[in-house]
């Protein structure tokens, strides 16, 4: 099955990582993959645009089926390979509701991270304001505290909603992203614990981009959050 799949991705992208973790969890190793460069604008290349009119990573193809939105790809793969590999959506109604709830709160979390980490890329120089960046940082602090609280409540299992699920698939890359950009493990101990418990999970470890933790200048942007 995996031989009929192709993933075009770039390193350092939480949305790409979500799809890669899902593929690993569903035992779909051996798919075709091509690492492209965001810096070189390869997401706007003809190769990507032919499959993805938005010109974004990930771009994912299964046979003649194209599904590029990362959440869509994860839900599609779980549905099509339900009984293969890890079951990523709990059956139990309460856990399932919590799973979906955390999964979609994960989008807000990622959005708030983006507004701090990529502020300079998202906003042209003459439209930037210290007051705006300060507000984005405050919103991110509020968001991070919410997740600290959620993880306090689920400490016994270490996952966000019962067993490992799509909620972890989509949220973990954002947590890793936050620490990569300098988030303090001391100020956010539950998030740090969650990160440490999950980072060596086979699906995550084998899909972690090799250069993810190389030091790069400008990667301390979350130090004071």
Nearer to its own copies by C-beta: 42 or 69? 69
- Exposed, middle or buried by CB within 10 Å (0-12, 13-18, 19+), for 66? middle
Nearer to its own copies, 41 or 129 (CB): 129
Do the strands 5-10 and 32-36 form a parallel or antiparallel pair, or are they unpaired? Answer: parallel
Among 37, 129, 155, 157, binds its own copies (CB under 8 A): 129
- The contact pattern for its own copies, residues 86-115, with x = CB under 8 A and - = no contact, is ---x---xx-xxx-xx-xxx-xx-------
Q: d(Cα 37, Cα 26) in Å, to the nearest integer?
A: 26
Nearer to its own copies, 124 or 202 (CB): 124
Between CA 76 and CA 18 the distance in angstroms is 13
Q: Can you give 159-174 as a three-state secondary structure string? A: CCCCCCCHHHHHHHHH
Per CB under 8 A, the list member of 69, 114, 148, 193 interacting with its own copies is 69
Q: How far apart are CA 116 and CA 138, in angstroms?
A: 10
Strand 59-62 to 5-10 pairing: antiparallel
Query: Phi and psi at residue 60, in whole multiples of 5°?
Result: -135, 135
Which is nearer to its own copies, 35 or 75 (by Cβ)?
A: 75
Instruction: Work out whether 186 is an interface residue with its own copies (CB under 8 A).
Output: no
Smallest distance, its own copies to C-beta of residue 146, A: 6
Binding positions for its own copies, rule: CB under 8 A:
53-54, 62, 64-73, 75-76, 79-80, 89, 93-94, 96-98, 100-101, 103-105, 107-108, 123-124, 126-127, 129, 131-132, 146, 149
């Amino acid at each position: 099955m995996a031989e009929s799949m192709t993933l075009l991705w770039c390193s350092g992208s939480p949305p790409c990582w979500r799809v890669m973790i899902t593929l690993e969890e569903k035992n779909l190793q051996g798919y075709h993959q091509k690492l492209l460069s965001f810096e070189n604008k390869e997401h706007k290349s003809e190769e990507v645009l032919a499959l993805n009119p938005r010109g974004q990573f990930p771009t994912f193809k299964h046979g003649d089926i194209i599904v590029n939105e990362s959440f869509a790809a994860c839900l599609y793969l779980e549905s099509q390979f339900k009984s293969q590999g890890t079951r990523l959506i709990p059956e139990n109604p309460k856990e399932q509701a919590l799973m979906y709830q955390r999964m979609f709160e994960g989008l807000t979390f990622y959005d708030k991270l983006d507004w701090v980490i990529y502020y300079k890329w998202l906003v042209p120089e003459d439209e930037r304001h210290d007051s705006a960046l300060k507000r984005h940082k405050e919103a991110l602090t509020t968001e991070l505290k919410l997740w600290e609280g959620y993880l306090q409540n689920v400490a016994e299992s270490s996952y966000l909603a019962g067993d490992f699920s799509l909620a972890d698939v989509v949220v973990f890359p954002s947590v890793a992203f936050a620490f990569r950009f300098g988030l303090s493990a001391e100020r956010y101990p539950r998030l740090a614990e969650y990160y440490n418990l999950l980072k060596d999970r086979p699906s995550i470890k084998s899909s972690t981009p090799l250069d993810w933790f190389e030091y790069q200048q400008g990667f301390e942007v979350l130090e004071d959050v």
